Amino acid sequence: MEVLVSTAIFVLVVILIFSIYFASQKFYQKSELEAELLQNGRVALERITREVRQAQETVTALPQTSDNPASEIEFQDGHSPSPYAYLQSDYYYIRYYIATSTREIHRQYKVYCFDDCASCSEFFRWNDNKMEGGVPVYVHFCLLEDKVIGEYANQFEFWGSGVVNISLTLSKLQEQLNFTTSVFGRNL
């Protein structure tokens, strides 16, 4: 009888120890996943807010309310000097968006011109046009770089004018984090 009782107690203690071990492993994995999402969101929002704060002009027409927000934003870079200063353009543009196939947050850096991008030597504002044979010709963008600045993005929303509101949702496995911030553009 004593052996049976001690065996039962031993089995209960072993089950309890393994239960605690597996619960702590699950908690650790969840914490690690949340930390990864938090770091991704923090880095992306920090970069976007810094650049929107310095933007000269917003290209994307942002709605006033969050009812129908824009899913990307493009604006004229307000930082000087530009990393592409050798092009001697007065107008550089930055675009943030989510690549839906990979769920990555991208940052594009570009200029606008009328000529082919390979031979473009004069750059213009994003909405410039000229008349050729009585027909308006509009500028097109030339991509200088396209970098991934974050991952696990589900939703990217922008709205407001003067104060630009940004909402970002990241998720991985069953974890989801929502980030929201407002940026007052100094030059807008």
Q: What is the pLDDT of residue 188?
A: 60
pTM of the predicted protein model:
0.85
For residue 17 the two structure tokens come to 């120890």
Q: What is the pLDDT of residues 118-152, one digit of tens each?
A: 999 999 999 999 999 999 999 999 999 999 999 99
Residue with tokens 């393994």: 18
Indicate whether 153 pLDDT > 90. Answer: yes
Q: For the chain, what is the mean pLDDT?
A: 94
54 CB-near residues (< 8 Å, 6+ apart): 77, 78, 79, 185, 186, 187
Residue with tokens 């011109």: 113
Q: What is the pLDDT of residue 30?
A: 93
Q: What is the pLDDT of residue 76?
A: 96
Indicate whether 8 pLDDT > 90. Answer: yes
Indicate whether 96 pLDDT > 90. Answer: yes
C-alpha 155/C-alpha 41 separation (Å) is 12
